[in-house]
Homo-oligomer: A and B are copies of this chain.
């Protein structure tokens, strides 16, 4: 084939992926609407809408002309890095889609709506009779889906690869084992500290209408463009969309201002990634985020490394005091910083501190492996969860909401996703370490200058989308492969100061 034919074929592919991208973004919007706006009785229709739409996307993804082009195009021709990545992702998407029956795709989409709707209702009423059968079907369909696509891999790895390309459970197991050991070590030092923290000092009334403007101020200062975004309320905070329409949600706890504030910073970290992608390449196969782990590195860095840092509050604490004279007029800045970094074993992952957070993830990784590989049934999940939790955290949940039904992921059919949260934390620490060597981060934070930080992230990470695999991106940005060391150094240094150990 001549070079021109190659280029024409590439462009024909991209034309098709342009439509697929826009149809996919409609599915995202339907899910946003479901969580944020949809009236209660809209669920049945939403399930059918998403089933029909996912079937259409599946048909587009498996269109024979795509297969024909991918079979003849020369992957080793003189492509740019971006084009090479587009072809790589196109081939991966096509190979994956052609292995899955359309009806299974539609059924999974349908069940995702029905089961998550039932999950919301069940958590409210604490009656789970309608929920369990749907939850079981959801897991069963996911097992079938994994079998369809796994080839030589185990089910878990087939699903994990959807969220964290190239990652495997064999790779994660020793990494997580070491991480768990180290985190337990830090946790022991904290629990033995002669200088404990008492977060009860932060508990008071924080009216939502006073929380919201403060959160808005912070996320706008981070550089979140709200003319291309929105902030709403939902049961489970999330970020969705891309390009000119990137929306985040939060939830307000009237006795705890940190939940909405750090939640907003977290979701804005995701939003800045989406807003920082190369707009022209958005509809291309490699135009989106590099992985969910890289995505999470952005949200966790803003939430924790920045949002729970001392210099950040040098600038923002006076404003917070102005908004909430009680209790902050009576709390010194350094004590405030210690309080927002309080470490404690707790039941709920999303409320966990930086030290215990990854222990929640590692436990979920182990539980979902059992679920996927038929070693654990949904019937036995609550008991198994409680047993594992007792082992890891030394306490037993007293309700399903506090235990295995706390997260939306599994009811939504999302198994193999949790490890990306731990990987995100590790990537965040490693990126942040490099950033502090290239930018006067603490000085910027103490002046409330957050835009240079966003720019650094945009330049080093966001603009590339998925041109590079996550591991390769990490090496490009930090010069080294991913390791747990930056995270451990960060935690030891920070919490040594908070809890006065070394």
Q: Which residues on B sit within 8 Å (CB–CB) of A83?
A: none
Q: Which of A19, A38, A39, A43 neighbours the largest number of chain B CB atoms within 10 Å of its CB? A: A39
User: Which residues 35-54 in A have Cβ within 8 Å of B in the complex?
Assistant: 37-46, 48-49, 51-53
Binary contact readout A1-37 vs B (1 if CB under 8 angstroms, 0 otherwise): 0000000000000000011001101100110010001
Given A44-B244, A45-B245, are A55 and B19 also a contact pair (CB < 8 Å)?
Answer: yes
Residue A395 at the chain B interface, CB threshold 8 Å: no
- Decide if A228 touches B40 in the complex (CB within 8 Å): yes
> Does A225 have its Cβ within 8 Å of any Cβ on chain B?
yes
Check A226 for interface membership: any CB of B closer than 8 A: yes
User: Could you tell me the distance in whole angstroms from the C-beta of A320 to the nearest C-beta in chain B?
Assistant: 27
Set of chain B residues within 8 Å of A37, measured between Cβ atoms: 37, 230
Task: Name the CB-closest residue of B to A44.
Answer: B244
Whether the Cβ atoms of B23 and A52 lie closer than 8 Å is yes
A25 to B46 Cα, complex, angstroms? 9
* Complex CA distance for A244 and B33, rounded to whole angstroms: 14
**Which one of A33, A37, A52, A247 has the greatest number of beta carbons of chain B within 10 Å?**
A52
CA distance A44 to B22 in the complex (A): 11
Interchain nearest-CB distance for A282 vs B (Å): 8
Q: Is the CB of A53 within 8 A of B41?
A: no
A311-337 interface (Cβ within 8 A of B): none
A56 within 8 A of B: yes
- A22 lies within 8 A of B45 (CB): yes
Determine if B42 and A228 form an interchain contact, defined as CB atoms under 8 angstroms apart: yes
What distance in Å separates the Cβ of A26 from its nearest Cβ neighbour in chain B?
Answer: 5
Instruction: Determine if B25 and A230 form an interchain contact, defined as CB atoms under 8 angstroms apart.
Output: no
Closest Cβ neighbor of A229 among chain B residues: B39
B230 and A41 contact, CB distance less than 8 A: no
Residues of B within 8 A of A53 (CB): 22-23, 26
Are A56 and B245 in contact, with the CB atoms below 8 A? no
What's the Cα separation between A301 and B34 when bound, in Å? 32
Asked whether any CB of chain B lies closer than 8 Å to the CB of A375, the reply is no
**How far is A42 from B23 in the complex, measured between Cα atoms in Å?**
15
A 330-351 binary contact with B (CB < 8 Å = 1; else 0): 0000000000000000000000
CB distance from A61 to the nearest CB of B (A): 13
Which residue of B40, B41, B244 contacts A41 across the interface (Cβ within 8 Å)? Answer: B244
Closest chain B residue, CB of each to CB of A283:
B48
A285 interface residue, CB < 8 Å from B?
no
Q: Can you name the residue of chain B whose Cβ is closest to the Cβ of A46?
A: B245
Q: Are A225 and B41 in contact, with the CB atoms below 8 A?
A: yes
What residues on B are CB-neighbors of A46 within 8 Å? 245
Report how many residues on chain A are interfacial, defined by Cβ distance under 8 Å: 36
Known A26-B26, A39-B227, A228-B40; contact A244-B52, beta-carbon cutoff 8 A: no
Query: How many copies of this chain are found per oligomer?
Result: 2
- CB <8 Å contact, A33 and B44: no
**Cα–Cα, bound, A52→B60 (Å):** 11
B22 A245 Cβ-Cβ under 8 A = no
- As a 0/1 sequence over residues 353 to 394 of chain A, the CB contacts with chain B under 8 angstroms (1 = contact) are 000000000000000000000000000000000000000000
A19 contacts B52, C-beta separation under 8 Å? yes
**A243 at the B interface (CB under 8 A):** yes
Closest beta carbon of chain B to A144's beta carbon, Å:
22
Q: Which residues in B have their C-beta under 8 angstroms from that of A55? A: 19
Closest partner residue, chain B, to A27 (CB atom): B26
In the bound assembly, the distance between CA atoms of A53 and B19 in angstroms comes to 9
With known contacts A22-B52, A26-B30, A53-B23, A227–B41 Cβ distance under 8 A: yes
Please indicate the chain B residues that have their CB under 8 angstroms from the CB of A43 in the complex.
244
Q: CA A45 – CA B43 in complex, angstroms? A: 25
- A229: chain B residues at CB < 8 Å are 39
CB closest chain-B residue, reference A106: B19
With contact pairs A41-B225, A44-B244, A225-B41 given, residues A56 and B23 touching in the complex (Cβ less than 8 Å): yes
Provided the pairs A23-B56, A49-B25 are in contact, do residues A39 and B243 lie with their beta carbons within 8 angstroms? no
**Cα separation A339 to B53 with both chains bound (whole Å):** 50
Shortest distance between the CB of A270 and any CB in chain B (Å): 16
What 0/1 pattern do residues 204 to 228 of A give for CB contact below 8 A with B?
A: 0000000000000000000001111
> Complex: how many Å from CA A26 to CA B56?
13
13 contacts between A and B (CB under 8 A): A18-B48, A19-B52, A22-B53, A26-B30, A26-B49, A29-B29, A29-B30, A37-B37, A39-B226, A41-B228, A45-B243, A45-B244, A46-B245
Task: Give chain A's interface residues, CB within 8 Å of chain B.
Answer: 18-19, 22-23, 25-26, 29-30, 33, 37-46, 48-49, 51-53, 55-56, 225-230, 243-245, 247
Q: Which 8 A-B pairs have the closest CB atoms?
A: A42-B245, A41-B244, A41-B228, A22-B52, A19-B52, A22-B48, A22-B49, A40-B227
